């Protein structure tokens, strides 16, 4: 197994940030106060997760400042 180039800067990638939100959402959501959870209607909750996942896919496909986005130095 070989890590991708610039893996140390992966926390800067939009795709990694979206995955982190998706991973933490089921843990954090139940701990929020009911009045905060009421801001997002129950019917919208699955679609919100889908939107975050689609954003992660887009973030992986979009060039995020070339070499600097993957943690390497620009030439």
pLDDT tens per residue across span 26-71: 999 999 999 999 999 999 999 999 999 999 999 989 888 765 545 5
Q: What is the DSSP string of 16-75?
A: HHHHHHHHHHHHHGGGS-HHHHTTS-TTTHHHHHHHHHHHHHHHHHS-SSGGGGGTPPP-
Q: What's the CA gap between 56 and 19, in Å, rounded?
A: 7
Asked if the structure places residue 1 within a domain, the reply is no
Domain total in the chain? 1
Asked if the structure places residue 2 within a domain, the reply is no
pTM above 0.75, yes or no: no
Residue 21 domain boundaries: 7-70
Asked if the structure places residue 37 within a domain, the reply is yes
- 1-9 mean pLDDT: 88
Asked if the structure places residue 75 within a domain, the reply is no
Q: Rounded to 5 degrees, what are φ and ψ at 55? A: -60, -40
Asked if the structure places residue 28 within a domain, the reply is yes
Asked if the structure places residue 64 within a domain, the reply is yes
pLDDT at 68: 55
pLDDT at 46: 94
Asked if the structure places residue 21 within a domain, the reply is yes
pLDDT at 74 over 50: no
């Amino acid at each position: 197994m070989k890590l991708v180039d610039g893996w140390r800067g992966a926390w800067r990638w939009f795709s990694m940030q979206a995955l982190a939100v998706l991973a933490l959402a089921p843990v954090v959501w139940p701990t929020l106060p009911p009045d905060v959870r009421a801001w997002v209607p129950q019917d919208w909750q699955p679609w919100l997760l889908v939107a975050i996942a689609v954003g992660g896919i887009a973030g992986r496909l979009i060039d995020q400042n070339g070499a600097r986005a993957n943690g390497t130095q620009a030439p």
